[in-house]
Amino acid sequence: MDLKEKTAAILKQYEVGSRFSYLPVLPKASVLIPLFVRDGEVHTLMTLRSQELRTNAGEVCFPGGKRDPRDRDDVDTALREAEEEIGLPPDQVDVVCTLFPIMNKSGLLVTPVVGFIEASFFPRPNPAEVSAVFTVPLEFFTREVDHSSYSATGIAGLLHSFQFPDPESGSHYQIWGLTAILAILVSVLALRKKPEFETGFDSDDPVSFFQHNLNKRISKL
């Protein structure tokens, strides 16, 4: 079994299926967390949002956006948004699993969809939405180097931030907030590795932790 197959098999164990079907109808969004193998390591692809956008301009995120009435499900939303933002054809994504949803600070229920793409994929960013596309080894999100955090109300009680020096472009990207949490989560699950820093959530059983957290927030709506 090669690294891609091994990683996919691990992640499929965290497919939520209908586990969260009891949730009330809430505004929804999905993000695609694209993974690929390069030089014996699992990497993920991330984007820098355009400065022209009305919300979260200039922030690093995964391809994704709000649910469209035409979307069949969370996977459909994530794939559609990825194609619109970076030119990634849906049929070039090997969807591995849908992870547990997380409510962001605006009350939007964000569902991460994890899939593998080819390492040779060449993004074609839509300049109206994306100003840069770059890749990061998942291992990066488990290391203390270039990481900082501070106590905050919200998703896990800690706000995480990474400063990523991109060796390909020479640019430095700040990866923080919900995007940082999602990157940490996928890294913990896929690599089966405990981060060198305090995460604010139970890395041994993140599903139960975030389900409890989500239920608490919904009960206050």
Domain, as residue range, for 16? 3-219
**Of the candidates 105, 91, 95, 125, the residue with the CA atom closest to the CA atom of residue 31:** 95
Of all residues in the chain, the percent with pLDDT exceeding 70 is 98
Task: Tell me the residue type at 59.
Answer: E
Query: What is residue 94's predicted lDDT score, i.e. its pLDDT?
Result: 98
**pLDDT tens digit sequence for 75-120:** 999 999 999 999 999 999 999 999 999 988 888 999 999 999 999 9
Q: How many domains does the chain have?
A: 1
Which CATH number does the domain housing residue 111 bear?
Answer: 3.90.79.10
Query: pTM to 2 decimals?
Result: 0.94
31-66 tens-digit pLDDT? 999 999 999 999 999 999 988 776 776 899 999 999
The per-residue pLDDT for 147 is 97
CA distance 100 to 44: 19
The residue ranking higher by pLDDT, 173 or 205, is 173
SS3 content of the chain, % helix, strand, coil (to 5): 25, 30, 45
* 154 neighbors 144 (Cβ within 8 angstroms): no
Amino acid identity, position 18: S
